[in-house]
Structure 1
Amino acid sequence: MNMKLADPAKSKPEPNSLEEWLDVLCNEEMPIFSNTAISVHNILSDEKKGATDLASVILQDPNLTVKLLKISNSQSYNPLRHKMVTVSRAVIVIGFEIIRKLTLACSFFESILSETNKQQVNEEIARAILAAVHAKSIAIAAKDSSPEEVFIAALLKHLGSICFWSFCSEQGAHIQLIINRGNYSREDAERQVLGFELAELSACLSDAWQLGGLIEESIKLKANTPITNPRLVFIQLGYDIIEALKEGEDSKKYEDCISKVRQLTKQSRLVITENIKNNANVAYDIARQLGAVDAAILIQNSLDKLDDSDESLVVFDKKQLQFSILQDIASIISGRPDVNLLLETVLEGIHRSIGMDRTIFCVLAPDKRSLREKMSFGWCKGPLGYKVIFNISDSPMNLFFHVLSGIDAFWAKPSVNTALYTLMDINVVGKNECFMMPVFFKNTQIGLIYADRGIHKQSLTEEDFNTFKYFTQQANIGLTVFRMQLKL
């Protein structure tokens, strides 16, 4: 493989130690994934946090949202083909734990694939996806309690290697040169050039990103170490099968893999070999859904399936997305009363289908002097995760008092409603155009929904306002229906 060395005059020096590589990846090259991984860990470790908090993390990144929904709508995760257009619905249908794990995987590849693709990193990604599919297939056949956990752990087992090859320059070229000469193994070449093995980088990244669980066990499993956890055996077999196929289906290594799978699953040789062949197609589809098109080509080695007409893909048209989410809302209203799911879906509909930066539902405090966050999307609240609080002031009258004085939606504009933007409001939300509307239960105001584009500062339109009003009206209609059902 020909690789052009970077011009030192045109690029910054590469990290020279394990610690430097760790710092650069976490804080410079992949800060978004670092934040996502830590946020997901915090949600898992806090009993008070759940599906809404996870959805909020996902919806902060539109690309991550789309990738996650593509996978959620795929045959692997949605065999009954119930189209899911909201993250809230995906969590309900597929389950919190699976969505949490898929969020990590999608966010990781989103960070990696934002860089210029290279041959070596695509080979690493293709290998990881194939191994993960093989491992999951074995786990399913062995009746494992959570094949999805096995899949994600196998997918991220060599994350240090994937990260390194995504962002390296001269060091990567030097390692390849040493390996191609045939004098060193990959691990020996890594130690000679870097002073450490990329497996060590994987372990350090796992600690920094608090991945934990089976992912951490898989990453920190050392070569030639006896494996006592059968789930780690599934993962190791996933990678062994890839290496065995390189030597051919008539090789001893391949037969050893087949024999191990038979012992674990009690399947026939014919079934196992058919599964291995079918797994390549599954891996191809997953690579596409993750946006790793070049890796998908390596997996399948053909372009004939690169057809974006797959019905499982999430709709992108704004009108169609609005219609689909409104159908979800109608289904919620006509079903068993679930106030949280109704409000989550309404908020997500506003946030995604209109294209808002920040969307929030706040409830009135008992003293009616403030509004306190109940659920929100897109709000950057820092590491402490504080709750947003809007103060209600009648002297001077502010935005929130004005809205709660009526029953209609309000489109606030700094150029027109200057007096309503008090200093206290500006400190919390800035001085941006925004949409607001009261929310009612039993004909009594219980809070309001607020939305703006205060991050990207894009203008709002009359069409946006009408759509906002319609979605918030659905929230009020739904709450009225629920109240009537509770009376029956």
Structure 2
Amino acid sequence: MPVRMNSTQAWVEYLSQVELPVLANTLRRINELTESNNSTVNQLAEVILNDAQLTSQVLRLSNTVFYNQTRTQVGTVSRAITLIGFDAVKSMTISSLIVDTLLARSKRTHLLKCLARALHAAVQARCLLPRRNEHALEEVFIGALLMNIGELAFWSCDTDQASELEKKLREDTPPVEAQKKILKSTFTEITRGLVEAWSLGPFMKDVVAAGRPNSKAANLVRQSVEMARLAESGWRGTDMDQMMESLAKELDETPAAIRDQVRVNAGEASKIALSLGIPQVRALLPDAGPVSADEVSEPAVEAGQEDPELQLQILRDLAECLTEKPDINQVCQLVMEGVQRAIGMERVALLMGDRSGTKLIPRKVVGPETDHWREEFIIERDRNTGLNRLLPQGACEIYKPPAKGGAVGFDPWLGRKPALVGPLMAKGRLVGLFYADNAGAGQGPTSSQLTAFSHFVRHAQLCLTLLAVS
């Protein structure tokens, strides 16, 4: 007999631990990042680059006028964070994660409607916020997007109680009454529980708390979510007119000016839905017309394929970084992104010497099944271990595993599969190593991939050299 949840806490635990643990953990991790140092920017880039679909969506969003008003073409996650800002890319990442995770699980009409409302509200809050700065803009965007995360999470799950609630709502039972009867809780209470359990931060707590919010920004989020709900029935009506007057008073504008602005904002929400790859949600937004063929995004290049055009773009970005004040963190992040996305290698690592100088330890890793590399992918220079075979002989090369052995206990492919390896040198001594492989895929790196890999590593070497003489 299927398990039934009969309390708010039961729903929070079920959604967090059974149905959506990966989403919960990723949102928690992203929210814990701060923009105070370079390592945090790199950590955000790594979160994004570990998912090819997420990378593609973040880059599409990075090139929309909504986020990138300079219209400077952005081709890499690393440069997007640098040029557009940490908070903006964080907001894109959360949007994409929510959309991809939930829609992959369910196509329920209620879920699609909730996603459309959340996205519409998020765009409205961001566009209406006065006295803008980047952090505040993205805070209200995420606040509106996640204000009803309990409802979104619930409808993404294929449970008997979801089907029962759908039936109750078709019978025109008032929503809150139906929720209490079937769920023994409400979406609002579940949302508050998830905000706490997923560590979504003090602003989200203020947005979803009972009573009046503590800040004007949190109040704007609530108004934007309510306006998005009302807009589903059209832009005219007593309730909508009252909402326009309330917003006008709050924002020191006329109701007519606010009404014009929110109609424009709804159009922006429609464009964002397309950038997120969800035309089916776009159709549920107010004033959204049909999707034309030229509006549908081109599919991303498949993993494992070389992309010469992207290689050139990232090499140009690297050259630009080196003409400015060289930043080894930024350059190495671009190199890793180039190796993964433009050359087509699945897993990439940068190892650097530790303080003792006797070991190479991971500083950056991206790709599937690499989390354990941070603790275990360690090369001891002076010990004859299997991993020592990965050390290049003075130039970038294709590592060829021995006929027998070569494997390490913590990874089924490391040491057993052909890989690209490239050295970083300082004063004639090996101080770092770039490593890239295709995990369990059958084919090893090609000669053209080695050539492109060498170009990328050369830029990191040049950066080290410039820093040494500056």
Of residues 261, 266, 275, the one that matches 2:252 is 266
Q: Are 1:81 and 2:71 an aligned pair?
A: yes
| 1:64 aligned partner | 54
1:128 CA drift (Å): 0.8
Q: Match of 1:403, as an amino acid?
A: L
Q: Are 1:403 and 2:391 an aligned pair?
A: yes
Question: Partners of 1:280 and 1:206 in 2: how far apart?
Answer: 27
Q: Answer whether contact 1:391 1:425 (CA < 8 A) is retained.
A: no
State the superposition RMSD in angstroms: 3.1
Question: Partners of 1:175 and 1:471 in 2: how far apart?
Answer: 55
| 1:339 aligned partner | 328
| 1:4 aligned partner | none
Of residues 30, 35, 39, the one that matches 1:40 is 30
| 1:414 aligned partner | 401
Question: Partners of 2:88 and 2:159 in 1: how far apart?
Answer: 35
1:186 CA drift (Å): 0.5
Deviations, residues 259-288 of structure 1 (Å, cap 9, x unaligned): 222222222333211111111111111122
Question: Partners of 1:32 and 1:20 in 2: how far apart?
Answer: 18
Deviations, residues 48-81 of structure 1 (Å, cap 9, x unaligned): 9411111111111111111112112211110111
Q: Answer whether contact 1:390 1:425 (CA < 8 A) is retained.
A: no
Q: Answer whether contact 1:58 1:65 (CA < 8 A) is retained.
A: yes
User: Residues 367 and 252 (structure 1 numbering): CA distance in 2 closer, same or farther, change over 3 Å?
Assistant: closer
Q: Answer whether contact 2:422 2:435 (CA < 8 A) is retained.
A: yes
| 1:438 aligned partner | 423
1:443 CA drift (Å): 4.5
1:370 CA drift (Å): 1.4
383-392 or 149-158: bigger deviation: 383-392
User: Residues 394 and 192 (structure 1 numbering): CA distance in 2 closer, same or farther, change over 3 Å?
Assistant: closer
Deviations, residues 346-405 of structure 1 (Å, cap 9, x unaligned): 111112222323211112235443102222223756599647422224546x5536635x
Q: Answer whether contact 1:113 1:292 (CA < 8 A) is retained.
A: no
User: Residues 171 and 41 (structure 1 numbering): CA distance in 2 closer, same or farther, change over 3 Å?
Assistant: same
Question: Partners of 2:87 and 2:429 in 1: how far apart?
Answer: 37
Of residues 201, 221, 224, the one that matches 1:212 is 201
- SS at 1:146 equivalent: helix
| Aligned counterparts, 1:174-189, within 5 A | 174-182=164-172, 184-189=173-178
Q: Are 1:358 and 2:336 an aligned pair?
A: no
| 2:97 aligned partner | 107
| Aligned counterparts, 1:238-249, within 5 A | 238-246=224-232, 248-249=234-235
1:258 CA drift (Å): 1.6
Q: Match of 1:445, as an amino acid?
A: L
Q: Are 1:287 and 2:273 an aligned pair?
A: yes
- SS at 1:372 equivalent: strand
Q: Match of 2:54, as an amino acid?
A: L
User: Residues 84 and 144 (structure 1 numbering): CA distance in 2 closer, same or farther, change over 3 Å?
Assistant: closer
User: Residues 39 and 381 (structure 1 numbering): CA distance in 2 closer, same or farther, change over 3 Å?
Assistant: farther
Q: Are 1:447 and 2:437 an aligned pair?
A: no
- SS at 1:167 equivalent: coil
| 2:189 aligned partner | 200
Q: Answer whether contact 2:275 2:297 (CA < 8 A) is retained.
A: no
| Aligned counterparts, 1:385-396, within 5 A | 386=375, 388-393=377-382, 395=384
Deviations, residues 98-138 of structure 1 (Å, cap 9, x unaligned): 32233222212221121241211111111111111222222
| 2:180 aligned partner | 191
Of residues 452, 458, 464, the one that matches 1:479 is 464
Q: Match of 1:268, as an amino acid?
A: T
Q: Answer whether contact 1:43 1:49 (CA < 8 A) is retained.
A: no
1:444 CA drift (Å): 3.8
- SS at 2:289 equivalent: coil
Of residues 171, 175, 189, the one that matches 2:161 is 171
- SS at 1:80 equivalent: coil
Deviations, residues 4-25 of structure 1 (Å, cap 9, x unaligned): xxxxxxxx83643344543443
| 2:452 aligned partner | 467
Q: Answer whether contact 2:396 2:454 (CA < 8 A) is retained.
A: yes
1:433 CA drift (Å): 2.1
- SS at 1:13 equivalent: coil
Q: Answer whether contact 1:403 1:410 (CA < 8 A) is retained.
A: no
| 1:97 aligned partner | 87
User: Residues 243 and 109 (structure 1 numbering): CA distance in 2 closer, same or farther, change over 3 Å?
Assistant: closer
Question: Partners of 1:250 and 1:134 in 2: how far apart?
Answer: 17
46-55 or 79-88: bigger deviation: 46-55
| 1:31 aligned partner | 21
Of residues 215, 223, 244, the one that matches 1:229 is 215
Q: Match of 2:459, as an amino acid?
A: Q
422-431 or 280-289: bigger deviation: 422-431
| 2:112 aligned partner | 122
Q: Are 1:276 and 2:273 an aligned pair?
A: no
Q: Which runs of 5 or more residues in structure 2 are unaligned?
A: none
Deviations, residues 407-464 of structure 1 (Å, cap 9, x unaligned): 1122123255x46x37579689353222111112344432111111225565433332
The aligned length equals: 465
64-73 or 440-449: bigger deviation: 440-449
| 2:290 aligned partner | 303
| 1:5 aligned partner | none
| 1:7 aligned partner | none
Question: Partners of 1:365 and 1:385 in 2: how far apart?
Answer: 13
Q: Answer whether contact 2:437 2:444 (CA < 8 A) is retained.
A: no
| 2:41 aligned partner | 51
- SS at 2:434 equivalent: strand
TM-score (normalised: structure 1): 0.85
